[in-house]
Structures are given as C-alpha cells and as structure tokens.
Copies of this chain bind each other. A is one copy, B any other.
C-alpha cells in the first residue's frame, strides 16, 4: 500500500451509492454505477426505476439471438407492444467476462395507468439517490500490442496518470507506488505504478500482466480507470469484440436469456406479474425497450415511402456516427406472428451501404425524418431554427451546496458524457490539486460565490431573449426532461468516446469549480464548467447564471490527438431542440389499429396538467442536418472547424441505444410566464401511423416535485390551442 490516496475518502461510499440505485451484481457486491455505464459504452442508457416503457417482444427475441425455434412462437396473449412500468433496474457484470448487463423488472401496465404515479415515484427514488457520487476523473485507453504483451507493462498516458492516479514524488529518480483498483465485482487489482524511462513515462508494471491474463484482454480491448470522488480507483473493461473464446460468452447472462423467455413474459403479462428482462448492452443493438414517450413520439412523424431520414449508430471505436437513408417500404416485419407490430416496420435503403451489417429494417423511433421527401417544407414547423439558439443555455454546474431548492433534481449533474480520446476538461484538477489550470484567468478563484449567488436569480428572460424568444423555448434542463421521461437510471450516464481530445485549458470556471468543491468537502455536485450546455444544476432557476457563465472564449476548447483521455463532459439533454405540447383534445378517430398501442388513447392527462398535451416537435429535425449542433447548443463550441457528421461532443444519451437527448417531451401545467406557440399545428399529416386520439407522451406535471412545479414551466411549452 505505497502511496495510498490521501484524500478524506469515505470508504464504501460508492458501494452504498450503488446499492441505493439498486445496482448489484449477482453475488451481492455492489456494482459501481458509473463504472457500469462507462463499461457499457457511450450510447447505452437504461430506463429509470419507475418509468414507463414499451417492451417489444420481437426485439427481445432478436436480442436473445436464440434460434427461432418453436418456443419462440408468439404467445397468443402477448402484444407486440407492451406498456410496462420499470419496477427495478439491476446492474450486473458477468463474473467470468466482466461483461455488463442489466436486469429490468417490468410490470405490464393497464392502459388506465395514471401517469402521475410515475412522476411521484421518480421524485421519491431520486430523493434516495440524490447523494453526490462524483467521479470527475477517468480515462479509457485502448490497449496496444505492447500493453498486452507479456514483455512489458501498461503505458499510461501522461495526463491520464496525472489525473487519475495519486501523485508520485517526482524528486525521486524512479518514483513508484502501488495502485489498487477495484473492478466491477469489487475485486481489487494491484499494480506497480512507476515513472521512468527516457523520456519519462508512466507505466504499470507488476501486476499488470496478471490482470491482462485473468481478464483475457487482448490488443484492441480497452481499459477504463476511474477515480471516484473519494479517491477510490475503479477499473473497467470494454472489449473490442464480443468475448467469444472457449469459455462461453456471458454464460450467466445467456443462461437467463435462454429459450422460453417469451412464454414467461406472456404469462407474467397475463397474470399481471413482474417479469425480468436481461439486457446486454454490448451484445446487440436491439432496442426492445424504449421509453414510453419515445414510442409515442414516433407517431408524430409521418413516415412515408421515399422519405429521407437519419439515424445514429455507435461505431466500433465507440464514437457516434450518423447515417442517412431512404424509406423504401412500410409494413409489418412479421405479419404472420406479429401483425401490427411497429418493430422494424420501416424498410430502408442506406445512402452508404458499405456496412453490410446495418439492418435494412428500422423501427420508427430509431430514425428521424430529414424532411426531404415530397418537398414538404411544411414538415418544418415554424421556429425550427430557434431550436438551435436555445443551446447556448449554459447553466452552471455548481450545485447549491445544501440543495434546498430541488434536491431531487440535482442528479443531472451526474449525467456525464465521457469521450474516450476526447478529453473535455473544465478544470484540470490534478490528483494532488496542483497545477489546476495551466492558463487560468487570474482571480477566478474568487468568482464562484458570486456565480453561485447568481444562480439563484431568475434569468429566464435573459435566456429567452438569448434564445431568440418566441414560441420555442429551450428545454434547458436535461435532467429535468430526463427525469420526466422516466429514464433517469442513466442520469449519471457517461459517454466515453475514443479518438479525440478536447481540453479547455483556460476555462474561466476552473478555479471556481475547484474552490467550491473544496469548500463543500467533496460534496459538490458540479462538473467542469465546459459543455455545461443545458443540463446542470437545475433547481428553482434552471438557467441561472446563464449570462454570467458563458465562457468568454470558445477557443478554449482544443481538439488534440486521438486515443486516450479523460474527464467528463456534461451531458446535455435536449440541447438544441425544443418541445412543444399541443392540445389534442379532438377525437382523431379510432384508427389506432395499426399501431397496436391503442391503449395509449386511454391515457389520462396529468393531474396538474390541465390539458392533455401531445409531444410535438417543431420539425427542426426535419430540415436541418445537425452537423454541428453543438455550435449552437453549448456555451463553448467543441471545435469550430469540425464539419463532419460525427457530432463529436454532442451530448447524447440513448436508451437501449436510443437517443434520449434529441427531444424530450415535457408536460407542464400551463404556460405561465413563457411565450408559447399556440399556433403550432399537428404535423402528422401524410401519416403512415395514424395516431389514436390523445396519443401522447404524457409527462406528469408533478414529476419533479411540487417545489419544482414552476421550474418545469420554464422548459416545456404546452400549447393549448384547441382544435
């Protein structure tokens, strides 16, 4: 135990935190929530406990990847879309392979379910989990041949070592120490960390090969080091390819996902019993569980043959890529067994079909129309451009120390996005606290108090004016929206990408962040000042400090060499899109037969939401390319010169590979102080998916707790224009 961490750490704190989040491995040891998400990959999210989701048996079968034998015959009683409440989410890691997977406990819901309960439940759940669990320092490195060779050890990127490892005594000729890192199972791994060579470099030597061998890591796999706020080191694995050696991959997980699953589900649904779904986020991209609102939202699009669309993918290097295509057909994928199912009901042709693996069938909720079909610019609702403007809604990530405002909303600050190879560092807190900022603005350390005070000001008007005002208002608080949609399990979701390093060396918030953190005794729930975007400390004044916290210079962000790197990026939920709720009281007829989800028509509106609202998107997605949304979305621009469609640095979270950030419907009681867009019309013309009446993504108005009711109105616009 040489050179142990010297901070005032609280042992087992993360364990408890994981417990509080309901994250366990099978054996009972706690799984580090952050580590799980880091290992799961950048685009994986999970539904939150208590949220409403739609379960797709077809997709489940695909995920199981079991041969379509007799036992996979559709149980007659099982519908293609099953509305469920998520009762529990458990995070697991395969004992043999460290592969992460999740167990969801679902309960089929009646159509008459009061959506309000979801919101209440959420508020309660968050309260038990509002304790900060910061892990501001992390890095992910793809192993080189040298790293995995028996010949040598592990070459640690310099800044990664400085950021995540306890400092070495560089006065010595060969400084070294012993590192202890826990993996997902809580197993401790010990490494000798030495700084040597000419030129000097950080190496892990003794103990490394044992780790490599035990984990059966090969070149191309990636390891993650993650320093918790209490100083604990965590160690994760993200394999390049699925682990398919002589040892059967994910024996336990596959075991649980074996045949007969669907029959069990059908029985549970029929008998109103809980059933359990195992999901391996890295095994297959099946998105067989999607948020209720997302499913409902897909009805708002009018898909038609010939329509162009775009869709996001996770590429092999864990970077997100976007592909476009053309809808070539619409119809049931399996009209015999699953008639009326929307699962992969769209037949598409990709513009770049170089990737043969890509499915030629997609589900409506996976794609976004780009609106180039039939020249119907009307698909683009008015004000679409303003949705971009909303993105500079940078709010500070500094938490209110005692969280008197909306403590249950304080979790969005953990909604991280960690890019592997894309280093986004708001403040460069070295492990020893030295060299905090290389080119720091002098005197910045004294700014945090005024800024925090400014957070309490109502700057809504500023925000709105900055955003261009008008009908569309930025849903600046991603966490709020996230929570309202019920997919808060991933509120601390990280996104770790490889290949690009973004390092804002002279962020004016660095000093402030550090100081506030120190004064809060490590409690601080803030993150780097960069890329705070819309998410952040959302409390009574969500956009608080917006005007004051916009970085003075966007050039502070640098894009450096690929591979290796660290730090979290604040994930911004719904950064550049706005939501509009539309009153939908008119009876649109009983044409819901196709969608197979007519039960939605029975959904009642929220108690406090006086009017039934329907999620509505302004159509900005239909005619914009989203090539550089972050330019507009974030207070600091990632890299002004980047013109590819990778959207690196775009804050995206997906539920089962599905984006949670694009547009999140948020219901509010009514528009009180905000400009509304009462003239928004239903864009669902030319619909291929007739919408049942009041088929909405119903978000309870009280989902954020009573004290936040007013806040919610800041982010959601509910147009009450009757039809």
Distance (whole angstroms) from the CB of A92 to the closest CB of chain B: 13
A248, B96: Cα distance in complex, Å: 10
Map CB proximity to B onto A237-265 as digits: 1 under 8 Å, 0 otherwise. 00000000001100110011000000000
Complex interface residues of chain A between 623 and 671 (CB less than 8 A to chain B): none
B248–A27 CB distance below 8 A: yes
A248, B27: Cα distance in complex, Å: 9
* Residues of the B chain whose Cβ atoms lie less than 8 Å from the Cβ of A251: 95-96, 251-252
Contact check: which of B95, B248, B255, B256 meets A247 at CB < 8 Å?
B95
* Residues of the B chain whose Cβ atoms lie less than 8 Å from the Cβ of A247: 95-96
A27, B247: Cα distance in complex, Å: 11
Map CB proximity to B onto A324-355 as digits: 1 under 8 Å, 0 otherwise. 00000000000000000000000000000000
Map CB proximity to B onto A249-290 as digits: 1 under 8 Å, 0 otherwise. 001100110000000000000000000000000000000000
Number of chain A interface residues as a range? under 10
Map CB proximity to B onto A78-106 as digits: 1 under 8 Å, 0 otherwise. 00000000000000000110000000000
A95–B27 CB distance below 8 A: no
Distance (whole angstroms) from the CB of A214 to the closest CB of chain B: 10
* Residues of the B chain whose Cβ atoms lie less than 8 Å from the Cβ of A255: 252, 255-256
Distance (whole angstroms) from the CB of A452 to the closest CB of chain B: 48
Distance (whole angstroms) from the CB of A176 to the closest CB of chain B: 28
* Chain B residue at smallest Cβ distance from A26: B248
* Residues of the B chain whose Cβ atoms lie less than 8 Å from the Cβ of A248: 27, 95
A252, B255: Cα distance in complex, Å: 8
A619, B256: Cα distance in complex, Å: 50
Distance (whole angstroms) from the CB of A473 to the closest CB of chain B: 49
Distance (whole angstroms) from the CB of A341 to the closest CB of chain B: 28
A96, B252: Cα distance in complex, Å: 12
* Residues of the B chain whose Cβ atoms lie less than 8 Å from the Cβ of A27: 248
A252, B248: Cα distance in complex, Å: 11
* Residues of the B chain whose Cβ atoms lie less than 8 Å from the Cβ of A95: 247-248, 251
Distance (whole angstroms) from the CB of A426 to the closest CB of chain B: 40
A247, B248: Cα distance in complex, Å: 15
Distance (whole angstroms) from the CB of A712 to the closest CB of chain B: 40
* Chain B residue at smallest Cβ distance from A248: B95
A248, B248: Cα distance in complex, Å: 15
Distance (whole angstroms) from the CB of A296 to the closest CB of chain B: 34
A27, B96: Cα distance in complex, Å: 17
Map CB proximity to B onto A4-34 as digits: 1 under 8 Å, 0 otherwise. 0000000000000000000000010000000
* Chain B residue at smallest Cβ distance from A251: B252
Distance (whole angstroms) from the CB of A271 to the closest CB of chain B: 11
A247, B256: Cα distance in complex, Å: 18
A252, B94: Cα distance in complex, Å: 12
* Residues of the B chain whose Cβ atoms lie less than 8 Å from the Cβ of A96: 96, 247, 251
Distance (whole angstroms) from the CB of A525 to the closest CB of chain B: 36
A387, B137: Cα distance in complex, Å: 81
Map CB proximity to B onto A216-250 as digits: 1 under 8 Å, 0 otherwise. 00000000000000000000000000000001100
A27, B246: Cα distance in complex, Å: 11
Map CB proximity to B onto A593-606 as digits: 1 under 8 Å, 0 otherwise. 00000000000000
* Residues of the B chain whose Cβ atoms lie less than 8 Å from the Cβ of A252: 251-252, 255
A591, B247: Cα distance in complex, Å: 55
* Residues of the B chain whose Cβ atoms lie less than 8 Å from the Cβ of A256: 255
Map CB proximity to B onto A96-127 as digits: 1 under 8 Å, 0 otherwise. 10000000000000000000000000000000
* Chain B residue at smallest Cβ distance from A27: B248
* Chain B residue at smallest Cβ distance from A95: B248
* Chain B residue at smallest Cβ distance from A267: B267
A216, B69: Cα distance in complex, Å: 37
A487, B221: Cα distance in complex, Å: 51
Q: Offer 13 A-B interface pairs, CB within 8 angstroms, sorted by A.
A: A27-B248, A95-B247, A95-B248, A95-B251, A96-B96, A96-B247, A96-B251, A251-B251, A251-B252, A252-B252, A252-B255, A255-B255, A255-B256
User: 6 smallest A-B Cβ distances: which pairs?
Assistant: A255-B255, A251-B252, A252-B255, A95-B248, A251-B251, A95-B251
Beyond A27-B248, A255-B256, list 11 extra A-B contacts (CB 8 Å). Answer: A95-B247, A95-B248, A95-B251, A96-B96, A96-B247, A96-B251, A251-B251, A251-B252, A252-B252, A252-B255, A255-B255
